[in-house]
Amino acid sequence: MIELPPELESPPVPWTRRHLLDLESLTADEITTALDVAQRFKEATKDCKVKLPALAGVTSVNLFFEDSTRTRTSFSLAARRLGADSVEFSASSSSVSKGETLLDTAKTIESMKIDAMVIRHRSPGAPQMLAKNLDCSVINAGDGPHEHPTQGLLDILTIRQHRGSITGLTVALVGDIAHSRTARSNIWGLKKLGAHVIVCGPSTLVSKQWEKLGVEVSHNLDDIVARCDVLNLLRIQFERQYTRPFPSVREYALLYAMNRERMCRAKDDILIMAPGPINRGVEVTPDVADGSQSVILHQVNNGLAVRMAALYLVTKASR
């Protein structure tokens, strides 16, 4: 473990929030502060490899009611990289299976003197409900189709690292916009930092109502691909759908998958992103997912830095 750099000994002045629940309610300055702190942690930990004593004495609990690989693992590692204790909660082996409510479960865990609770839940608003009823900090790790603020931040951090600024960029979110919490957090964050955002996909997954958020709506990837600086390819979330939104996966891939032919019509420096998990051959072909313009694994690494920043900012604001 190395010593904490002086600039990380206290949280930046613009940040006063005890919880991170969404990007909709954050100001552009607060979003920039979170990105700056994540970048400092990434550099101070030598690309998220070494430990810092920034959160020594802090305990965080990962309260996940939905499956997760990247988010859960990176929150756990982020806490440990900063010297905090991290505890995993499994709904299937807890008293939830005996009928205990979410709030009673959360209050029970909080009474064990924890400092932060990271929650993923299928119901939109679950993190907000806990934030109103608990004294510890609450971080939203995804609430149904509502928001996924740390995913939005890590996507924006990845773009900023490769382009220097968000202002003036054209960023397209392609795929299942209707059911994507990642799309909503990206839209709020990117718009506040000055990007032009396009949402693209079948009309059954991308309605004209999205224009009310100040974004451009397109149903044809071939019409927009040449003017995009960034393509963020979102997974089709079949688990949240009651009817099939298009005739077949093959037809969807034909119309919306980023493939070699479309890359030939894209800008030379386009960034290919995906929040994962990716379905190769559906949203993106393997050669593009693993190609030179892909920053998908950079996003995963930045997830550690952003979650270090999130835990640090909310717990410091609580003290």
Predicted confidence (pLDDT) per residue in 99-108, tens digit: 889 999 999 9
In the chain, the number of structural domains is 2
User: How far is 119 from 277, CA to CA, in rounded Å?
Assistant: 19
Torsion, Cα of 153, 159, 162, 164 (10° steps): -80
Q: What is the CATH number of the domain that holds 157?
A: 3.40.50.1370
Predicted confidence (pLDDT) per residue in 138-156, tens digit: 999 999 999 999 999 999 9
Predicted confidence (pLDDT) per residue in 257-275, tens digit: 999 999 999 999 999 999 9
User: How far is 85 from 114, CA to CA, in rounded Å?
Assistant: 9
Q: Is there a binding annotation on residue 235?
A: yes
100: in domain: yes
Average pLDDT over residues 58-85: 94
Please give the pLDDT value at position 242: 66
Please give the pLDDT value at position 319: 72
Q: Is there a binding annotation on residue 98?
A: yes
What mean pLDDT is reported for the chain?
Answer: 93
1: in domain: no
Q: Is there a binding annotation on residue 277?
A: yes
| Contact in structure between 42 and 161 (CB atoms under 8 Å) | no
Q: Is there a binding annotation on residue 151?
A: yes
Q: Is there a binding annotation on residue 299?
A: no
Lowest pLDDT segment from 11-25, 83-97, 140-154, 225-239: 83-97
User: How far is 315 from 319, CA to CA, in rounded Å?
Assistant: 7
Average pLDDT over residues 45-62: 95
List the structure tokens of 22: 């969404």
Same-domain status, 20 and 139: yes
| pLDDT surpasses 90 at 132 | yes
Q: Is there a binding annotation on residue 71?
A: yes
Give every strand in the sheet of 59-64, ordered side by side: 85-90, 59-64, 116-121, 137-143
Q: Is there a binding annotation on residue 319?
A: no
Full residue range of the structural domain in which residue 128 is found: 6-148+301-316
Q: Is there a binding annotation on residue 145?
A: no
Q: Is there a binding annotation on residue 175?
A: no
Please give the pLDDT value at position 7: 74
